[in-house]
Amino acid sequence: MGILDKLERKLYKKRVPMAVTIEVTKRCNLDCIHCYVDHEDLDVELSIKDFKGVIDQLYDLGVIIIVLSGGELFYKKGIWELMEYIRFKKMGLKIITAATLLNKSDADRLKDLGILEVGISIYSHKAEVHDFITRKEGSFKKTLEMATYLREIGVLVVSKTLIMNLNYKDIIDVYNMSVERGIIPQFDMSISDAQNDARDPKQFSLTSEQIVELYQNKEVREILYNTKSFEDTYCKPKYEYQDEDERCNIGRTAMWINAKGEVFPCIQFQYPVGDLKIDSLKDIWYNNPKIDKVLEMAKYKNYKACHNCEAVKYCSPCIALTVRENRTDCNTTNHKEAFAIKKVFEELDAKKENLDLSSLSDYLTK
Ligand code: SF4
Ligand code: SF4
């Protein structure tokens, strides 16, 4: 076991998140068609001074890496001061941005800060598709230019591609475009529900037939399995478990803080477990019946619908998605994806064309 794995295990046991994502603002210069952010309460966002206090509390908790996101984080006045403060505390810094507000000297400044990773949303290799999704003409050119420049100066860049019914045919080209530039591609199919009723991002979800179409393509299948997905890196789903084990990192090493200072047990879970304007982070995380309830919910024994589900080995069940649908059993996103993958793998098994791996979980856990 490597040093990082050992550290991660230690933090897991103590329920200390290794990395915490902070939404520093809900404001954004783009208007992505699938955006889940509610863009409400813009006047009650924490100030940079408040966020510095949050960083101090995260530092005291033992958190090692801070991931800043938005909205568009570069829309936040004083964001450079916050990033410098994080580095001053000797914490690792990652950001998620569309990069359209950056110029080359900003990119140089990020490198000088010793940034660990810049995650950039890239929806297609075609400008017209990307710009249609961001609803901002010229955004593809700006985003790709900045992603390419950041790589040229030696910054680690991850392209984050949400696969929707608008761009699912572009996976191979996006993969190649990223790899050619030294950018690490990452794909994800889970479209989040909107934070309010004004939007309906789920209308852009893939149908079962489209998921089957993707997995039937050997090249796409290999790309999807060989690029780390959101679930692999953040949720860390477990495939071997006892009844008392939690199925994922919710409430343990996954933590999300929104622009208002509300704390969530993971980025998909829509109910806050506390408010940093009122309580300390230590009390919210360690002295809180709400968190206890989330941890109890996350135990394998409580995923009752999954116990006898035919598709369980093709699924990363997400309790947050189930709660979002006001259900206690399965959810439509997991169900659709798991059964589509199962169908393809059974067809491949029948034709003896499966990849040289015994099961999907081998892929997902490697
Ligand atoms: S498809 Fe639904 S019931 Fe089956 S394993 Fe996934 S979340 Fe559980
Ligand atoms: S509840 Fe879902 S999004 Fe949250 S950590 Fe678990 S699998 Fe990931």
Tens of pLDDT, residue by residue over 21-62, are 999 999 988 888 888 777 666 678 999 999 999 999 999 999
What mean pLDDT, rounded, does the chain reach?
A: 89
User: Is the CB of 322 within 6 Å of ligand 2?
Assistant: no
User: pTM (2 decimals)?
Assistant: 0.90
- The whole-number pLDDT of residue 303 equals 83
pLDDT tens string 116-125? 999 999 999 9
Q: Which atom of ligand 1 is nearest to the CA of 303?
A: 8
In 3-state terms, what secondary structure has residue 220?
Answer: helix
Mean pLDDT over 266-291 rounds to 95
Q: Where are the alpha helices (DSSP H) in 182-318?
A: 208-216, 218-226, 230, 281-286, 289-297, 304-307
Proximal ligand: closest to the CA of 268: 2
- Å from CA of 340 to ligand 1 middle: 12
User: Is 319 a residue whose pLDDT tops 70?
Assistant: yes
- Å from CA of 303 to ligand 2 middle: 13
Q: Where are the alpha helices (DSSP H) in 241-303?
A: 281-286, 289-297
Distance, CA of 167 to CA of 225 (rounded, Å) = 18
Which of 26-30, 51-55, 139-143, 231-235 shows the lowest mean pLDDT across its residues? 231-235
Identify the residues whose C-beta falls under 6 Å from ligand 1.
Answer: 305-306, 309, 311-312, 315, 317, 330, 334-335, 338
Look at the chain and count its residues.
Answer: 366
Do 72 and 121 contact (CB within 8 A), yes or no? Answer: no
Tokens standing for residue 325? 């649908």
User: Is 361 a residue whose pLDDT tops 50?
Assistant: no
User: Is the CB of 331 within 6 Å of ligand 2?
Assistant: no
* pLDDT band of 351, cuts 50, 70, 90: confident
Q: Which atom of ligand 2 is nearest to the CA of 317?
A: 7
User: Is the CB of 318 within 6 Å of ligand 2?
Assistant: yes
- Å from CA of 348 to ligand 2 middle: 29
Tokens standing for residue 249? 């990192």
Q: Which atom of ligand 1 is nearest to the CA of 337?
A: 1
- The whole-number pLDDT of residue 34 equals 87
Mean pLDDT over 158-186 rounds to 96
Question: In this structure, what DSSP letter does residue 245 have?
Answer: S
- The whole-number pLDDT of residue 33 equals 87
Mutation probe of ligand 2 site: the residue of 247, 318, 325 with most atoms within 8 A of C-beta: 318
Proximal ligand: closest to the CA of 331: 1
Instruction: Calculate the alpha carbon distances from 273 to 249, 279, 292 in Å.
Output: 15, 11, 10
Q: Which atom of ligand 1 is nearest to the CA of 329?
A: 3
Distance, CA of 60 to CA of 309 (rounded, Å) = 42
User: Is 227 a residue whose pLDDT tops 90?
Assistant: no
Top-confidence range, 86-95, 206-215, 326-335: 86-95
User: Is 296 a residue whose pLDDT tops 50?
Assistant: yes
- The whole-number pLDDT of residue 313 equals 84
Match 């934070």 to its residue by tokens. Answer: 195
* pLDDT band of 132, cuts 50, 70, 90: very high
